Amino acid sequence: MDDLRALIRDVPDFPRPGIIFKDITPLLGDAGAFDRVLEAMAKPWRGRGVSHVVGIESRGFIVGSPVAARIHAGFVPVRKPGKLPWNTVAKSYELEYGTDRLEAHADAVGPGDRVVIIDDVLATGGTGAATISLIRDLGAEVLGFGVLVELGFLGGRARITVPFEAVIRVD
Ligand code: AMP
């Protein structure tokens, strides 16, 4: 995993002073590394009867949709407000300053569906916790949550109340 780790670029002070942004584009641009990461993210959920993978906008789409295809599940986008064209359900959540909102199509998943949620980076866990709650509001079961990179020092994992998988952990 160290060679994968080396393909994640730290960008200091992006998008704001004090944030070290984990830039995954060098990893996405490397055919072999991208394939290995997708396989590592898909493996824990294979054979578990997952009906849908939910990807969180926007980098969660990049890894979530190929993981869905690998495990023969459907893909559901969870998006920022106003982006989805059909009837939506929404969940607001706290940010460091103020609140944000996520939306899903009201008919995207429902009772009897078995969902895995995928994102690129777990930081504070706020986005992930809101997405778990949103999918549960629709009546689906959330089997687990997977990310490419976990920022362990932020402790976000404590807010993810379902089985959690990370390919790379940064402390
Ligand atoms: P959080 O709600 O704090 O767990 O933040 C999760 C979302 O913000 C994820 O969708 C990430 O894409 C993004 N994010 C937060 N912090 C970082 C970071 N340091 N580097 C890259 N992406 C980040």
Q: What's the 97 CA to ligand 1 centre distance in angstroms?
A: 15
Using a 10 angstrom Cβ sphere, with 0-12 exposed, 13-18 middle and 19 or more buried, the burial of residue 24 is buried
pLDDT in tens, 76-87: 999 999 999 999
pLDDT for position 96: 74
CA of 96 to the centre of ligand 1 (A): 12
The number of the ligand 1 atom at minimal distance from the alpha carbon of 123 is: 4
> What are the chain's domains?
2-170 (3.40.50.2020)
Q: What is the pLDDT of residues 118-156, one digit of tens each?
A: 999 999 999 999 999 999 999 999 999 999 999 999 999
DSSP H/E element including 55: strand 52-56
Q: Per the structure block, which two tokens stand in for 62? A: 């990049």
Residue written as tokens 């009201």?
Answer: 106
pLDDT at residue 97, as a whole number: 78
Query: For the whole prediction, is pTM greater than 0.85?
Result: yes
Q: Pick the atom of ligand 1 nearest to 122's CA.
A: 4
